[in-house]
Structure 1
Amino acid sequence: MSNVPAAFATTLHIRDNCLCLQAQRAARALSRRFDEAFRPYGITSGQFSLMNGLNRPEPPTIGAVASLLAMDRSTVTANLKPLERAGLVTIAVDAEDRRGRRVGLTVAGRDLLARATPVWISEHAAIEAELPADADALRAGLRAVA
């Protein structure tokens, strides 16, 4: 193994062209922006996304939510705990598979989601207006690698 560091020009090329780095930076910036927008509602952008993943006619399994959010089950479970303590979600044994859990929004959770969604719509529209490129093309590109 060589102790010779990569050329600085290579480092600059990676900094300016790495899709992973740019996606991570953008995700952090978007999270901070939405976190601030949702602060008056007492939730984070991640919690808003998680609650949206639970907003279904029937309570989904933790595995289904994990798949939707591209997270592992243990991370979803950990992220559900504060929402459960706040009375926004319920976690129950799956009647079809007692080893599993189903998660649903409570009335308070649905109410909070309904109040926070217009904030998301407004903030999202503002972000799309700031983009130098077509937002639909960006979404398509992100879905292609997800």
Structure 2
Amino acid sequence: MSRKVPFEATLEVRDTCLCLHVQRAARALARRFDEALRPVGLTHGQFSLLNALNRPQPATLGAVARLLVMDRTTVTAALKPLERDGLVSIQADPSDRRSRLLTLTGKGLETLASAVPIWRETHAALEAGLVPSSPDGLRAALLALC
């Protein structure tokens, strides 16, 4: 009992699917930022994670997961190489030993400080190419989907 989907449906999805277009754009942006951040030894995901930890007080794993819209298991896995490389410190929370507190180390702060100018330059170049759309309009539209 074979049902056929007309090729026109494939074209419709290709041309109109918001999820597909956002995924494609996300992959293209990720590649661009990965390449730009390579000189400081970071991927775009690691940069985002280090940036999420750049705060006055240590962050909890849950707070970082919520900020990055990731599950805790994925954040934990992403932290392992950063901890191994000495960029992040993970300590038990003294007020709740089940919770973990995440902080940037001195090396992590230095790496982030080296990466931010690269991110700014890459980001500015990408925003400049968003014509005729405004970067703020794009951000608002994408945030509305969350």
Decide: shared fold, TM above 0.5: yes
Deviations 1:68-112 (A, max 9, x none): 000000000000000001000000001221111011100110111
Contiguous gaps of at least 5 residues in structure 2:
none
Q: Which residue of 1 aligns with 2:136?
A: 136
What do residues 43-69 of structure 1 show as CA deviations (whole Å, max 9, x unaligned)? 100000000010110111001000000
- Residue equivalent to 1:100: 99
Alignment of 1:1-146 (within 5 A): 3-132=2-131, 133-146=133-146
CA RMSD of aligned residues (A): 0.9
- The 10-residue stretch of structure 1 (127-136 or 43-52) with the greater mean CA deviation from structure 2: 127-136
SS in 1 for 2:98: coil
Normalised to the residue count of structure 1, the TM-score between the two structures is 0.96
Task: Name the TM-score, length of structure 2 as normaliser.
Answer: 0.96
Identity %: 59
Letter in 1 for 2:145: V
Task: Give the match's secondary structure for 1:87.
Answer: coil
Tell me by how many angstroms 1:4 deviates. Answer: 1.4
Say which SS state the counterpart of residue 6 (structure 1) adopts: coil
Q: CA deviation at 1:5?
A: 2.6
Give 1 or 2: higher strand fraction. 2
SS at match of 1:26: helix
| Amino acid paired to 2:54 | N
